[in-house]
A and B are shown apart, each in its own frame.
Chain A
Amino acid sequence: MELLKRKNFYQTLTIFIWLSFLFIIEATGKLHIYINKKFFPFTILGSFILLVLFIVKLKKIKKEHFEKIDIISLLSFLLFLFPVLLATIVRPGNLPVLAAGKRGISQEFTGGDVMAILKEQLEMEGNYKKMNIKQLLTFSKNKPEEIDGKEVSVEGFVFKQDNGKEGFMLVRFLITCCAADATPLGVDVVYQDAGQLKQDEWVKVYGKCSVEENKLTILAEEVKATQPPRDVYLY
């Protein structure tokens, strides 16, 4: 019980809880729900620093003089604990469609590199060129002639603003650092059976691109339900 009154016990516990949280989230492969793959090395580095801090703290915990826990330190401990508990209890999946609506779906993308996409060997699915929404929007903005009239296959989730009987918007989130900056990118899809599709459902669209004044629409020939890919975000 004496231990529970020590301030440095709560400080050590805070470091341990965050160290374990980072380790579990890295080991279970859940990190990609939250941050861009490019930032994974920083999270691993963060875990390593926390591990060193934890070892150093453990080493000197007995040497430090007794200091009783105060309200500020206890609240601080609870504050550190809150997000860990929340993520553990809620166990979130991918960003839901609600986030796309709140953030506003962008149908233009200026940050893409046309030359880089042209150099890529894009896979074919039968007659359809396999592309993602970021690549399509990059072409429609900078080199529309590359995709106008071409047949493509593209996946994303369904976003319907109204009843969406004649069409829907196919959306993917683009993230740069983490899910907080996720920007929904979308393309209009014309599809007669759109009424049968559910909001937030992952689908693969096969169809022909039509670009008018840099605005892309896909005239769908077929829409198939699909499982979300492992990397739900575009980077």
Chain B
Amino acid sequence: MQKKKESPVTKIVLVCGILFLLIILNLWNSGNLGLIPQLLKNPKLQVFTIVITAILLEAIPFILIGAIISGSIEVLVSEEKIKRAFPQNRFLSAATGSFLGILFPVCSCGNVVVARRLLKKGVPASGGISYMLASPIINPITILSTFIAFSYSLRIVMGRILLTFLSAVVASLILSTKNYVPLKEGEEDHHIHHSHLSKVEQVFHHAESDFLLMGRYLVLGALAAAIFQTFISRQAFLSLAGNKVLSVFLMQLLGILLSLCSFADAFVASSFVHLPSFSKIAFMVAGPMTNITVSILYAGTFKKSFVLKLILTLFITIFILGVIGTYITGGK
């Protein structure tokens, strides 16, 4: 008689279950079971739990809103209409995409879902990419929060908009030479049969697929950001900034590692009072465009080589523009 082969899923569940039981047994055997409540009060575990939960509680509603917008675009807007909304010239399309966030102020997590749908619907590659990169920053909410955080400093606000616009346009032009973006195929693309669903049900069906697909990358991103926020000291990190160039580099890196929402990062940036303005601007541009959470969302949307090129291009562009800005403003 042929023996039934266990599926890999069953094996994973079994291994996890056995490991869990072994840990509990070991704690019980060593009389340390009572230590569990104490372990749960460990400050590092508390900070880690608060940060990961906070990022998710804040971002999941936006992912869901993005998923509903994305589903509505898929079901209710024709490809022709979307294509007509964007100029066909690559530069003009990139410039248009950069300012589209003024009409749709969705933060970076929800925005990747929308950008993915726009690209699938045939939006010119440069426009779709620049929309994805710039709209979390060039939108009314982020502009206003930057304005307030920096005591109504027009210089900082204009610097942030300019650096965002230039970085988004440069990166989208470099990465869209063949007007093609290598999107990963989503699971929903294979399994949706719409014949028996109403239009509203179709919107929610797409929204559900987008949420389940992008949500897992969001959890991974939040996990990585929470690890960094729990174990690495921001002050020790920035004490390495010995000169203007290094301060741009380190603030950019800090923006990536902290994974803050673009609506809030200006308040954190403004607390680094002694650093040059453009290193703070680099922090506020690199963060929303390339932070860990968003990068993992990109990895769920595009092919690996494209994501690597995108992040590298952005990092170099923001760094060069940040250093130029620092020298033009005399490091103030």
Contacts and interface: CB of A to CB of B under 8 A. Distances in A.
B259 A180 contact: yes
Contacts of A52: 204
Contacts of B267: 111, 174, 176, 181, 183
Contact of A180 (B64, B208, B223, B229): B229
A35 B268 CA distance: 15
Nearest to B151: A110
B49 A69 contact: no
Interface stretch (B176-184, B232-240, B243-251): B232-240
A71 B12 contact: yes
Contacts of A93: 46
A190 interface: no
A110 B207 CA distance: 40
B47 A90 contact: no
Contacts of B230: 102
B208 A56 contact: yes
Interface stretch (A14-22, A120-128, A145-153, A205-213): A14-22
Given A71-B12, A180-B51, A180-B259, A83 B219 contact: yes
Contacts of A180: 51, 54-55, 58, 225-226, 229, 258-261
A90 B40 contact: yes
A103 B234 contact: yes
Q: What interface size band does chain A fall in? A: 35 or more
B54 A179 contact: yes
Interface stretch (B77-85, B142-150, B310-318): B142-150
A92 B48 CA distance: 10
A177 interface: yes
Nearest to B67: A49
Contacts of B238: 104
B154 interface: no
A3 B213 CA distance: 21
> What secondary structure prevails in chain B residues at the interface with A?
helix
Interface string B1-31: 0000001110011000000000000000000
A91 interface: yes
Contacts of A101: 233
Contacts of B65: 42, 45-46, 49
A102 B261 contact: no
Nearest to A176: B264
B36 to A, nearest CB: 9
Interface of A: 11, 14-15, 18, 22, 25, 31, 33-35, 39, 42-43, 45-46, 49-50, 52-53, 56-57, 60, 63-64, 67-71, 74-76, 79-80, 82-83, 86-87, 89-93, 95-99, 101-104, 106, 108-111, 113, 142, 174-181, 183
Query: Which are the 8 A-B pairs with shortest beta-carbon distances?
Result: A46-B61, A104-B235, A176-B264, A177-B264, A179-B54, A178-B54, A34-B54, A98-B43
Interface of B: 7-9, 12-13, 40, 43-47, 49-58, 60-62, 64-65, 67-68, 145, 148-151, 191, 196-197, 201, 204-205, 207-208, 211-212, 215-216, 219-220, 222-223, 225-226, 229-230, 232-235, 238, 258-261, 263-265, 267-268, 270-271, 273
8 contacts: A46-B64, A56-B204, A68-B7, A99-B43, A102-B233, A108-B271, A110-B150, A177-B261
